[in-house]
Amino acid sequence: MTFYDEIAKLKNILRKGWLERDVGGKCGRVESDAEHTFSMLMLALEIINKKKLNLNQEKVLKMIAYHELCEIDYGDHTPAEKISHEEKYKNELKCVTRLARQYKMPEILKIWKEFEENKTPEARFVKKIDKLDAIMQSKVYAEKGNMPGLFNEFRGNKQEIFDEFEDDICEKFE
């Protein structure tokens, strides 16, 4: 199996949070991990540019690209499944470690761990972009599937992130 074969699996891993809310039934389809990663990359580039953020842009983009690789073996899991943080981390780490070793790309493991530890400015930014993408996607699904409560749920759960970036990503949300 090639590295491309591995990452192509992300195209078929559907975002479980949307499945739990029956977004697919109301909108026709649910985004994949690959689509989520792509929209995060684009949001990050837009915001870094608009805000002229002093971040290591290459590291940010790699962190976004690598952050969902852990789901290749383990799958997507949501808080509703009540899996402990320790168990989830252990299983995700196992996958990322395998990929880094098998494809001789130790950087994957290093940057993924940095993301998980959330201590650097780049990691904190990427965590925010991860949440912001969920807010933005909830708006798309809310409009397409006539589910007004969906956007309010996601925006409400992450209001501080929404407030921080709203002017950068849209003229007006309401």
Whether the predicted model's global pTM rises above the 0.95 cut: no
- Classify residue 105 as exposed, middle or buried by CB count within 10 Å of its CB (0-12, 13-18, 19+): middle
Is residue 174 assigned to a domain?
no
Question: What is the distance between the alpha carbons of residues 74 and 143, in angstroms, rounded to a whole number?
Answer: 31
Residue 44 reports pLDDT greater than 90: yes
Encode burial over 40-75: b for 16+ CB neighbours within 10 A, e otherwise.
bbebbeebbeeeeeebeeebbbbbbbbbbbbbbebe
Question: What is the distance between the alpha carbons of residues 16 and 93, in angstroms, rounded to a whole number?
Answer: 20
Is residue 64 assigned to a domain?
yes
Who contacts 143 (Cβ-Cβ below 8 Å, separation ≥6)?
A: 151
Is residue 93 assigned to a domain?
yes
The terminus-to-terminus CA distance of the chain in angstroms comes to 47
- Classify residue 150 as exposed, middle or buried by CB count within 10 Å of its CB (0-12, 13-18, 19+): buried
Residue 158 reports pLDDT greater than 70: no
List own/partner pairs for 87-92 with CB under 8 A and 24 or more apart: 89/116, 92/116
Q: Which amino acid is at 94?
A: K
Is residue 112 assigned to a domain?
yes
pLDDT digits (tens, 9 = 90+) for 66-113: 999 999 999 998 888 889 989 999 999 999 999 999 999 999 999 999
Residue 157 is predicted with a pLDDT of: 66
pLDDT digits (tens, 9 = 90+) for 5-40: 999 999 999 999 999 999 988 888 999 999 999 999
Nearest to 39 by CA among 174, 147, 169, 146: 169
Average pLDDT, integer, range 35-63: 95
What CATH code is carried by the domain that includes residue 133?
Answer: 1.10.3210.10
The domain in which residue 22 lies consists of 3-169
Percentage of the chain lying above the pLDDT 90 cut: 67
Number of domains composing the chain: 1
Higher model confidence: residue 169 or residue 4?
A: 4
Is residue 94 assigned to a domain?
yes
